[in-house]
Structure 1
């Protein structure tokens, strides 16, 4: 099994996650079933090696993530289902700018998400109207609370859940900006070069719960806002052109996470698998629960 994972993690995952300390034995057994795990850069390789213990550093393949091929590939080379999704989304948008709202999952569910006041909702509505924009909400697939969808219903947001748009890469391609908190989608979104804002209203408590591999302020490709006032101010300049310093900062952050900025990650994974089969290296010793091989 070659584990393609589902993104480039900002939050700690697997063996490195603070909320998994009681399950490390089970996690290690699960990881041993993998022949390899892929990564996106040298920095990401170190994070994945930490997360997927007891796999060795050499069993983390820095191929890039196949899913990101669909962010960078020419549109006419995308699969037919993705092109159909894009056409459907374009018809919903019309001439409006799409602002993606993609919060991460919280263990507390209903009690863990931000509660907007009526004044704050009205303020967001005013900003959307002035910028000819519409909010598109894609809450985490494991989230059952749907707090943001219910709270912001009066703004007429688009339902961009995976039930309607399975391929998030299409949302990245057609959006004008991203609003998130700590979701690792912001790392993939760097490939688009479009603006992003982090509404990190529970920064300290959330990172105590999960832990992060990096300092959010250090790597996020835009402003990190800790309350609604900061968030509202960040929105006012969201669509302004980046300064030369801001462009250089984005490029530096992108280099941290992407050694391959192309649409060839799938091909590199295939080539690595071919190398295994060519040299007869598909198998490897697997340790049992007692650590004997």
Structure 2
């Protein structure tokens, strides 16, 4: 009887998965092959407005950091009219996303410039007018874990055929990156191998804030207010990337907080910044809340990078930004082999990372307690010069010059 139930359950699960995938394919075909292209053509009957700029936010429902500095700088120039279009792919229902997409297409159809900083089936499925230029200011620095066409045949991505049928990286007129070193990786990810001249190392706009002394001072004031112990102790930032797929993203919970507290609590506080895709964040035990504090909802990642004395991450591109401060970082990559099979990397992980790869809490504690003798600043400087050479506080200016 148990065997029968197990077989029935297995068949039911497979049937459910089959129908979910079938519905997704039908929805994608209906919207990306029919509804969106036809709507764009209809709206394109109007002339392109030479002073119109659209900022297209794919995941969120507000203007995010990478756009904000560009938006503010353009607004100061006073030459353009702006429209912010938000799709809400991680927040809105599928029906609402469709409505948001149609509203965005109406604006995009008559725009001179469209700024985007993420993957977008909406931009990729339309017959873009030659007068309209799409500027991809990708949200991440450097080139760490694979994305776009680079994930073809990996578990994280679809097949090459699927990526071509429902493209996410198409119609980009210009792509801005953090360094000449990574142009090849973005050319591969965006299927732009024959257009590498359109991938330009301007720097990433949001990194300009790391050269703003007033912003840094404000970040210190903020963490001192939120975490009073940080006035007298050093700050360890733990900012892991998410695991699983975006819709069900979760944070790793392999770090032994009790051990960290016992070994480092006299000298450090530990702050968490979970990935924005993670809806249900791990809860810090009540007994450790004087040492371990979740600041995900209270401080931006930029603010936390500014004020942290040590950064622990794993596969997140935030380590590129953190290298600008030339401070110690370590990599809690307890599942490195599995993650390689899941998504993969653009560079050899062990050779690229400018800090130790740790698989246990004990290894991290040992390194942090011996920073004076083990931290190699030059390794971080070399990493910064290789992957962040264009991020010098003037990225926004260079991006605007290209317009």
CA distance in 2 between counterparts of 1:26 and 1:176 reads 46
CA contact (8 A) 1:100 1:138 kept: yes
> What's the counterpart of residue 208 of structure 1?
341
Q: CA RMSD in A?
A: 2.4
Summarize deviations over 1:229-250 as a string: whole Å, max 9, x none: 3223222223x2667xx23322
Summarize deviations over 1:39-93 as a string: whole Å, max 9, x none: 111221111111111472111111011111111x1313x4xxx865542222223
CA contact (8 A) 1:31 1:54 kept: no
CA distance in 2 between counterparts of 1:110 and 1:16 reads 21
CA distance in 1 between counterparts of 2:270 and 2:329 reads 14
Summarize deviations over 1:93-135 as a string: whole Å, max 9, x none: 322211100010111668872445xxx432210223232x111
CA distance in 1 between counterparts of 2:251 and 2:234 reads 29
Question: Which secondary structure state, in structure 1, belongs to the residue aligned with residue 164 of structure 2?
Answer: helix
Question: Which secondary structure state, in structure 2, belongs to the residue aligned with residue 24 of structure 1?
Answer: helix
Return closer, same or farther for 1:233/1:26 CA change in 2, 3 Å cut-off: farther
Return closer, same or farther for 1:154/1:215 CA change in 2, 3 Å cut-off: farther
In the alignment, is residue 164 of structure 1 matched against residue 302 of structure 2? no
**What are the equivalent positions in structure 2 for 1:205-284 lying under 5 Å apart?**
205-238=338-371, 240=372, 246-273=376-403
Between 1 and 2, higher relative CO (CA 8 Å, sep ≥ 6) is seen in: 1
> What's the counterpart of residue 145 of structure 2?
11
CA contact (8 A) 2:181 2:386 kept: yes
> What's the counterpart of residue 276 of structure 1?
none
**What are the equivalent positions in structure 2 for 1:1-293 lying under 5 Å apart?**
1-8=134-141, 9-17=143-151, 18=154, 19-22=156-159, 23-25=162-164, 28=167, 30-54=168-192, 56-71=195-210, 73-76=211-214, 78=215, 84-91=218-225, 92=227, 93-107=230-244, 113-116=252-255, 120-131=256-267, 133-147=268-282, 150=283, 154-156=287-289, 157-161=292-296, 163-165=297-299, 167-238=300-371, 240=372, 246-273=376-403
CA distance in 2 between counterparts of 1:155 and 1:236 reads 20
CA distance in 1 between counterparts of 2:320 and 2:306 reads 14
CA contact (8 A) 2:235 2:307 kept: yes
Matched residue pairs, number? Answer: 256
1:202 Cα offset (Å):
0.4
Question: Which secondary structure state, in structure 2, belongs to the residue aligned with residue 43 of structure 1?
Answer: helix
1:181 Cα offset (Å):
1.1
Quick check: which has more Rg, 1 or 2? 2
Summarize deviations over 1:146-183 as a string: whole Å, max 9, x none: 23xx255542222221x322x32221111111011111
Structure 2 unaligned residues grouped into runs of 5+:
1-133
